[in-house]
């Protein structure tokens, strides 16, 4: 993407919003957006179950700061991709019943 002139924005609070909506909104303002997928590695089943996928988890720069789009700057959005979310395996409780008879 070639930036014709510098674009300056005050970064809004995007956490929790749709990644694609925010990306489109920023690109429409002339901002170069890079999507950074976060890893599910090392997460417990309960953590994986509560992760909100395809929503903004973090932005660089952070909300409230001023971002100036120059030729080399990139606005980074970090998120968990639903396509990468592991399937949670249900744990089956041990069979405590003894055979009677």
The CATH number that applies at residue 45 is 3.30.10.20
Least confident of 2-16, 17-31, 68-82: 2-16
Residue 17 lies in a domain: yes
Please compute the mean of the pLDDT values over residues 3-16 and round it to a whole number: 87
Residue 19 lies in a domain: yes
Q: Residue written as tokens 């924005």?
A: 9
DSSP SS3 for 9: strand
Residue 59 lies in a domain: yes
Contact 59, 11 (CB under 8 A): yes
- Single pTM value for the model: 0.81
Residue 92 lies in a domain: no
Per the model's pLDDT, the better-predicted residue between 15 and 97 turns out to be 15
In the predicted model, is pLDDT for residue 26 greater than 60? Answer: yes
| Both structure tokens of 51 | 């992760």
Q: Tell me how far apart the alpha carbons of residues 28 and 89 are, in angstroms, rounded to a whole number.
A: 41
| Both structure tokens of 34 | 């890079």
Residue 35 lies in a domain: yes
Number of structural domains the chain divides into: 1
What pLDDT shows up at residue 79? 99
Residue 71 lies in a domain: yes
Residue 98 lies in a domain: no
Least confident of 20-24, 45-49, 73-77: 45-49
């Amino acid at each position: 993407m070639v930036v014709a002139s510098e674009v300056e924005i005050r970064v809004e609070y995007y956490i929790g919003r749709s990644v694609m909506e925010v990306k489109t909104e920023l690109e429409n303002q002339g901002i170069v957006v890079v999507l950074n997928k976060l890893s599910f590695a090392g997460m417990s089943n309960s953590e994986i179950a509560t992760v909100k996928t395809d929503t903004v988890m973090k932005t660089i720069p952070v909300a409230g700061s001023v971002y100036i789009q120059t030729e080399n700057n990139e606005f980074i959005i970090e998120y968990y991709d639903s396509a990468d979310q592991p399937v949670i395996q249900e744990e089956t409780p041990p069979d405590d019943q003894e055979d009677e008879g």
